């Protein structure tokens, strides 16, 4: 059996996330259907992780096994012929039998975009959260610095999270601005359910002066009665890259 690793890019608008489910069309379903048309039989694709409905990806990694001697181009150009315009395979390569897209991942880079302007931007509407009131970026950076490192992120997850531990390490968290676009880049070893979106929602609360940056440190310490900010909308989030040894 050969093991093939794919790198995928997709616009998650209109999809029920990566994983196949009953309540809508998932990206995994569409990719597997395209692969089946190329190889002639059903293929199960395993990804580096789930993405929620409406979330995008530029560098989601997935793998599958196959016993046919097809060229690698069949898994990129061939599969792309059968994919909708919102989904594309950027890279296909053969890997060793022990590789696993999910369990071998050593870190992930997520980017969250915020359109910070009184006037909405139709061109960024599918990929950025519109926040019309001006954000205090220095305050957001102060709060972001407190999230870097190994912490208990219990306060930064949503209901339904079944993680065995809430301890995670964030390698870096930056808040940059390019004209009206505020870009939050988060790099870490792994994340709880909706963790990045909750962190962004909390940082936006800081930027709007609804809470002090120091509250983030208190949230990490589990202060009773203190809650994180709202979960930021999914369409501003994009999985940029997954790292492996």
Residues with a catalytic annotation lie at 52
- Range list of H helices, 76-194: 79-80, 137-147
Handedness of CA 244, 87, 191, 19 (dihedral sign): negative
The answer to whether 57 and 9 have CB atoms below 8 angstroms apart is yes
What whole-number distance in Å separates Cα of residue 124 and Cα of residue 175?
Answer: 18
The per-residue DSSP string of 179-242 comes to TTEEEEEEEES---TTHHHHHHHHHHHHHTTSS-THHHHHHHTT-TT----PPPPGGGEEEEEE
Task: Please name the residue that has the structure tokens 């792309």.
Answer: 80
């Amino acid at each position: 059996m050969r093991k093939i690793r794919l790198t995928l890019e997709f616009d998650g608008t209109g999809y029920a996330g990566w994983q196949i489910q009953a309540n809508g069309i998932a990206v995994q379903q569409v990719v597997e259907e395209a692969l089946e048309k190329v190889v002639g039989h059903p293929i199960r694709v395993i990804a580096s992780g789930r993405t929620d409905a409406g979330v995008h990806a530029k560098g989601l990694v997935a793998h599958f096994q196959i016993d046919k001697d097809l060229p690698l181009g069949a898994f990129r150009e061939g599969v792309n012929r059968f994919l909708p315009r919102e989904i594309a395979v950027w890279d296909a390569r053969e890997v060793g039998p022990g590789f696993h897209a999910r369990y071998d991942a050593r870190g992930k880079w997520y980017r969250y975009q915020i359109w910070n302007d009184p006037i909405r931007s139709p061109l960024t509407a599918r990929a950025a959260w519109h926040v019309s009131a001006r954000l205090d970026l220095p305050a957001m950076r102060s709060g972001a610095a407190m999230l870097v490192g190994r912490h208990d992120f219990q306060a930064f997850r949503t209901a339904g999270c079944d993680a065995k531990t809430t301890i995670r390490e964030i390698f870096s968290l930056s808040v940059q601005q390019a004209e009206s676009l505020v870009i939050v880049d988060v790099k870490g070893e792994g994340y709880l359910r909706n963790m990045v979106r909750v962190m962004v929602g909390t940082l936006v609360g800081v930027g709007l002066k609804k809470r002090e940056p120091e509250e983030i440190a208190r949230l990490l310490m589990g202060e009773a009665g203190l809650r994180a900010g709202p979960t930021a909308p999914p369409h501003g989030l994009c999985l940029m890259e997954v790292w492996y040894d």
